[in-house]
Structure 1
Amino acid sequence: MLKRLNSIRYTYIRSHLYGVFLTAVTLLAILLSIFVLIEPTWLNASNILVFVLLYVFLSVIISFYVGFKSSTDIKDRMDYLSVFITQLSRGNYTSRDYFNEDDEIARIGNELNELAEKLQNQVKSLQRMADEKADFAKTAHKAATIEERQRLARDLHDAVSQQLFALAMMSQATLRIFDKSPDQAKEQMEEMSNTALKAQVEMRALLLHLRPVHLSGEPLDKGIYQLIDELKQKCQIEFRLMIDELLDLSEATEEHLFRIIQEALSNILRHANATVVTLELTKKKNEVFLHISDNGIGFALETDQAKKTSYGLKTMKERTEEIGGIFAVRSKQGEGTYINIRIPL
């Protein structure tokens, strides 16, 4: 109620009432001065009281009426500006406000229009730079692929290959002494087991390193479905998907969104202890919306869990801003985590 009384409309009414009060006091002072100094027969205390009360009564009614009427236009225009600013804060940079009047509010509207146009151009520049960055990344990827193959060949030779060779040599030696010295053979078999486990761990690390972390030319929706299918084979999580096809996104935007989804799912698998994950990727008007949520343990910003996930959240936020989007995350201890991303097209 108090907040409503501080609105523009009631401010106008208060200013009119203040004028009524000052006018009434002035009239009362003038009439009392005439009554005291001149003492006309037609003026007495009763007439003064009736006149002042009647004036105040009519003036209050007129003040309310005029206050409402005179504040309606400026209130509507301020409401338009408020909605316009809200649209800008949500990433809808195509909105514009136009006023026929030539006053201060119209100038503010024009300045906000210029700001929206600059923000829209900035988003286009960011997306264009992201596309150029993707082209450079492709070139660098080719060179990195050759270097990576050479590195993996060295790792296979230096680690896994030598461990397998040692395993073969120990197995042959164990077969020769198995009947003569069972205790020594048992020790060698334990050593063989440890060597085999080391080789297995090394191989898993290499395979994990080889796992693709990009779309490799596939559409975004297909890449997401493949990623989810792979995760279903490794964990007992129920995935609820709602993905629009034919989103008509640039290659760089698709790549960033895919990596954001990978990072979010990675955080969920490592930290959330969730059983249900919801992923929605939809297009509405001139924006793409990405929503990822889970029913896990959640986290508060001041906890150690937040510190563990902060790097992943920071990476997702940076990727979102690179393509001109807006990133928002909401989480509470015991109530899961919700990530919402809006990308203007």
Structure 2
Amino acid sequence: MDHTSAIRNMIFKSFFMMAVMASLTSFVSLQVYLLLSHNDGVSLSLSIYLTLALLLILLLLSVYFGFRTSYSLKGRIDDLSTFVTLLRSGKLSARVKSDERDELGVLAEEMNHLATYIQEQVKSLQRLADEKSELAEKAHGAAVMEERQRLARDLHDSVSQQLFALNMLSSAALKSIAHDSGKAEGIMKQVAEIASKAQGEMRALLLHLRPVDLKGEDIREALITLIRELKEKTQLEIESRFEGMENLTKGTETHLFRIIQESLSNILRHSKATRVVITTEKKEGFLTLYISDNGIGFNPVESKMTSYGLQTMKERAEEIGGHFQIRSKESEGTYINLRIPV
């Protein structure tokens, strides 16, 4: 039995009880009247007859009005139920018609207003999704263009110039090797040094281009993999200890991974370091990242050599609410300290 049938039965029961109560009330009233008028001869038979006749008439009327009222009410409730079903199926343009101004009419009008509101919200969400998609596409294009320009600039400023120097030195060595082997030997040492430096530059660029997707790993596993690859491809000695990196948000993991990646890239390209220490620990509501190297160092105020990479790391740290600090001194290495609230 559905809810509308239950309502119909309730209405029929209400009208039936009203008819029975009215008949009983009439019977009692008639008995009191006959008793007070001292007409005992016809009191019982007449009262029973009139009561039965009244009960029959009231029952017929209760069935008629009960059916009529319940049919109208059932139809209006069915309309509201159908309207809700249409909304749930996604047909937000549907509306329920109601000319009555009773409670069901007010409910139907409110449901129409609600459908209009939902329809407008859906349109707004679709518009926002389109705008977000367009902005994401533009941002991706701008990021790709910026990265291409940066890589082109880095290649021109470092590897391209080093390759040019290698070409010039190797030509000079070929000319000197026949009549001045000592000079040729010195030139070849310069060639080897520049080639080693160019190799470091290329490894740093390839490290920077390494995808940040953690591929289902947590950040600790991804960093261990990254460091293992660097140890296999370079002579750099890396000491690492990663603690307190559990339950980080995806955004924090991504930025933290990129900061460490950028710092290693800078070390490979500029520091001439042989040893790097990377540690993390959680203490008093903060995750602290510490990176140090034993390289040549630089003046953080005057040097522009690594300003782009350092600025990028600082911006990433600020985006996750962290505090980024760097200390460096010529011939004494570089030290990076990052504190992130977790």
TM-score range (shorter-chain normalised) is 0.3 to 0.5
* Rg larger for: 2
TM-score by length of 2: 0.40
TM-score by length of 1: 0.40
Does 1 or 2 have the higher relative contact order (CA < 8 Å, sep 6+)? 1
